[in-house]
Chain A
Amino acid sequence: MVKKVVILGGGTGGALLANKLPRDEFEVTIVDKQEYHHFLPALLYIAFRGYRKPIKRGIKTLLKPWVNFIPSGARAVNLYDRYVELENGKRLNYDYLVIATGATMDYSKVPGLDKVVEQFGNYHSTEENAWKVWNSLNSMGSGTLVIGLTYERYRCPPSPLEGVFLAEEYFRMRGIRDKVRIVYITFYPKPYPAEGINEIVEPLLKERGIEYLTLFMVDHVDPEKRVIYFMEGEEIKYDVFIPIPPHAGADIKYTPEDVLDSDRFVKADKFTNRVQGFDDAFVIGDASALPVAKTGVTAHLQADVVAKLLMGETAANTGRTHCPFDVGYGLGTFVISDFRNPALRFPVGKLPHLFKVAFMASYWDMILYPELWDPIFNAYFSATEPSKLRVFYG
Chain B
Amino acid sequence: MSQSNKLLVDARGLSCPGPITELVKAYRNAKNGDIIEVWATDPGFEPDIKAWISRTGNQLVELRKEQDRIVAVIRVTAKK
Contacts and interface: CB of A to CB of B under 8 A. Distances in A.
Interface residues of A, number: 18
Given A231-B80, A232-B56, A232-B80, A193 B17 contact: yes
Interface string A199-230: 00000000000000011010100000000000
Interface in B13-65: 14-18, 20-22, 24-25, 27-28, 44, 47-48, 51-52, 55-57
A195 interface: yes
B78 interface: yes
Nearest to A263: B25
- A-side binding surface: helix, strand, loop or mixed? loop
A194 interface: yes
A217 B28 contact: yes
Interface string A328-346: 0000000000010010000
**Which of A187, A217, A233 has the largest count of B CB atoms less than 10 A from its CB?**
A187
Nearest to A319: B15
A193 B16 CA distance: 7
A215 B51 contact: yes
A339 B52 CA distance: 25
A247 to B, nearest CB: 12
A215 B25 contact: no
Contacts of A291: 14, 18, 21
A152 B21 contact: yes
B6 interface: no
Interface in A85-121: none
B17 A188 contact: yes
Q: Identify the interface centre among A189, A193, A194: most chain B CB within 10 Å of its CB.
A: A189
Nearest to A192: B17
B24 A217 contact: yes
Contacts of B15: 339, 342
Interface of B is mostly: helix
A215 B28 contact: no
A195 B44 contact: yes
Among A195, A214, A231, A262, the one with the most B-chain Cβ atoms within 10 Å of its Cβ is A231
A232 B57 CA distance: 8
A22 to B, nearest CB: 35
Contacts of B78: 231-232
A342 B55 CA distance: 25
Nearest to B53: A215
A231 B30 CA distance: 11
B20 A188 contact: yes
Nearest to A261: B25
Interface in A175-203: 187-189, 193-195
A291 B10 CA distance: 13
Contacts of B18: 291
Nearest to B47: A189
A42 B21 CA distance: 27
Interface in A241-283: 262
A194 B17 contact: yes
A219 B28 CA distance: 8
Given A195-B44, A231-B79, A232-B57, A342 B16 contact: yes
A233 B16 contact: no
B79 A232 contact: yes
A214 B54 CA distance: 12
A262 B44 CA distance: 25
A189 B20 contact: yes
B48 A189 contact: yes
Interface of B: 14-18, 20-22, 24-25, 27-28, 44, 47-48, 51-52, 55-57, 78-80
Given A187-B24, A195-B16, 9 more contacts: A152-B25, A187-B20, A189-B47, A193-B16, A215-B52, A217-B56, A219-B80, A231-B78, A232-B80
11 contacts: A152-B21, A152-B24, A187-B20, A187-B24, A189-B48, A214-B55, A215-B52, A231-B80, A233-B80, A291-B14, A342-B15
